[in-house]
Amino acid sequence: MLSRVADSVFWMARYLERTDNLLRLLRTDYIASQDELLDYNWQLLADSFGSDRPEQKVKVENYRQALHHLLLSRPHECSVFTNIVRVRENARSVQDYITKELWQALNDYYHHILEPKTENLITHNDPVTALDFLLRDSIIFYGTLDVTMNRGEGYTFLNLGKYMERCLQNLEIVEFKRKQMVKAEVETVHWKYLLYALSGYEFHTKYYKNALNAKEVIHQVLFNTQFPHSISYSLGQMLRYFQRLADFSQPQQFQEIEGLLQKLIHSMNTYQQEYNISVIEKLIPDIRQQFNHLNARLASVYFGYS
């Protein structure tokens, strides 16, 4: 397939996964702030998931402002709105490659976020309704993708983008939660909401069977291969999909990227063996750096970046 198309499909999936993760986090944290975490630090949230550029930073005074900044702000380069626009632009440039149904699902997503009703819910009414509404579009996208897309190269790059973004977001969210806990009296509440944000709470109670504790929560989020949001699971998926490219790639290129993926998996296995709670101090920067390198090499080898 065309390098440009592979690139667009990959980034389309990354922006979509990023959006999905952010929506879930906002949903659970908003609910938490209404019920359990009454002194919720909205500025920390806006800073952690907003743009790093100084001119894009804003001061948020309440949850409405924070939600607006992260969800709907047009000039903000990291808002959900901007992400959806990017997803749609990428999809538009590969409209002939993705299925008509998938394009329509994304197009509807875009039109929904533009609806005045969405803004009204977020700025004046119940934000959860708006978040549910948008999350449903995200699920429709994944369903449509699964049902309609052919399993060729494009599907592989799409999944590589999805799982890479999932890992990176996972690291972001764990870091964010740790920052939230610095002044917290009861840590476990934060860990519980971390699991909620990753749709992993129910699984946790069934699998670990202990009272909620940081070590097991982080174990699940990083290493548990039955948990679809964990890094180990996502890496396994990336390797599985990537190996399908063997027949479509030049051998040297294929081996290089496969090697980088194997190395990531090996690193995770090593961290798991020596696992204790402090390992994440080392793990997070290391794994993030390896992903960034992988991303750059994929761009160079498969997407034609020079």
Residues making contact with another protein (CB under 8 A): 1-6, 74, 89, 92-93, 95-97, 100, 103-104, 107-108, 111, 153, 157, 245, 248-250, 302-304
Burial 34-46 (b: 16+ CB within 10 A, else e): eeebeebbbbebb
CB of 19 to another protein, least distance (A): 19
CB of 117 to another protein, least distance (A): 16
Q: Between 111 and 215, whose beta carbon lies closer to another protein?
A: 111
CB of 105 to another protein, least distance (A): 10
- The tokens describing 241, both together, are 């999909």
- The tokens describing 202, both together, are 């129910």
CB of 89 to another protein, least distance (A): 7
CB of 281 to another protein, least distance (A): 37
Using alpha carbons, select from 80, 275, 40 the residue that is nearest to residue 179. Answer: 40
| Backbone angles phi and psi of 146, in degrees to 5 | -65, -40
CB of 184 to another protein, least distance (A): 41
CB of 305 to another protein, least distance (A): 11
> Could you give the CA distance from residue 2 to residue 135 in angstroms, rounded to a whole number?
31
- The tokens describing 102, both together, are 């998938």
Q: Between 43 and 95, whose beta carbon lies closer to another protein?
A: 95
Q: Between 90 and 138, whose beta carbon lies closer to another protein?
A: 90
CB of 252 to another protein, least distance (A): 11
| Backbone angles phi and psi of 2, in degrees to 5 | -65, 140
- The tokens describing 201, both together, are 């709470």
In 46-181 the beta strands, taken as DSSP E runs, fall at none
Q: Between 240 and 282, whose beta carbon lies closer to another protein?
A: 240
> Could you give the CA distance from residue 290 to residue 287 in angstroms, rounded to a whole number?
5
Place of tokens 């879930």: 24
Q: Between 92 and 288, whose beta carbon lies closer to another protein?
A: 92
Question: What is the DSSP secondary structure assignment for residue 30, as one 8-state letter?
Answer: H
Q: Between 111 and 282, whose beta carbon lies closer to another protein?
A: 111
Q: Are 56 and 79 in contact (CB under 8 A)?
A: no
Q: Between 227 and 303, whose beta carbon lies closer to another protein?
A: 303
Using alpha carbons, select from 17, 111, 176, 183 the residue that is nearest to residue 103. Answer: 111
CB of 104 to another protein, least distance (A): 6
Q: Between 93 and 123, whose beta carbon lies closer to another protein?
A: 93
> Could you give the CA distance from residue 45 to residue 59 in angstroms, rounded to a whole number?
11
Q: Between 95 and 267, whose beta carbon lies closer to another protein?
A: 95
Q: What angle do CA 109, 110, 113 make, to 5 degrees?
A: 85
Q: Are 122 and 67 in contact (CB under 8 A)?
A: yes
